[in-house]
Structure 1
């Protein structure tokens, strides 16, 4: 099954990129429906004597239909290490004005000189 996707690719000469240049893909429609993203952020649980901050933007998902979003980011560098935060949000939670948000929760990857993980949870932006 093929799903039509439209978007644009921007060629960037980002000096912080590991390669000579990079490309950024921006999806604008998925199967004929406009797409959207949400911001998410928070603090991890306090484990092994510290906690981390994290923030990111979800992957695009179709607008106006039941959906979830994938998310992936890296925590702040604290206590000499960082963790990956990755998962799939819960389904859209509608608001009276027609907008929506999603809940998310999970456990970070294991890292640190004393190997450990952290719990996290929260709500995306509207």
Structure 2
């Protein structure tokens, strides 16, 4: 199955030998797309917690959907964790727009290997 997408590619002008590109999708199968900001803090484990913030991957607007997300936590107690997953379905807001619930566990990291739980809800669609 082919799904037509539109967007633009941004080239990073790093001065070293590596470089990267970011693809910003502006439409999916003819529909506009949107993202959501999310942030929060993890559970308190092994004497500390972490903060995180990010933006979900784009998803089509106007249809039921979910978003993938990925970010890294703040640097606390000498380490960071990665967070990734898929949100729940869209929850309509009375004033328009919608949000998504998300939850999961971080990667296992730290001097004393451990992970943290996290959960929250995204902001309204961007």
- TM class, shorter-length: over 0.9
Q: TM-score, normalised by structure 2?
A: 0.94
2:4 match: 4
- Classify the secondary structure of the residue corresponding to 2:113: coil
Whether the aligned pair in 2 keeps the contact of 1:39 and 1:125 (CA below 8 Å) is yes
SS at match of 1:114: coil
Secondary structure at the counterpart of residue 120 of structure 1: strand
Task: State the shift of 1:19 in Å.
Answer: 4.5
**Who is 1:64 aligned against?**
62
Question: What is the deviation of 1:24?
Answer: 1.4
Q: Deviations over 1:52-91 (max 9, x none)?
A: 0000000000000000000000001110111011000010
Q: Aligned equivalents of 1:71 and 1:19: distance in 2?
A: 29
Aligned with residue 25 of structure 1, among 23, 30, 33: 23
Alignment size in residue pairs? 124
Deviation at 1:97, TM superposition (A): 2.4
Q: Mark the runs of 5 or more structure 2 residues left unpaired by the alignment.
A: none
Structure 1: gaps of 5 or more residues? none
Correspondent of 2:46 among 42, 45, 48: 48
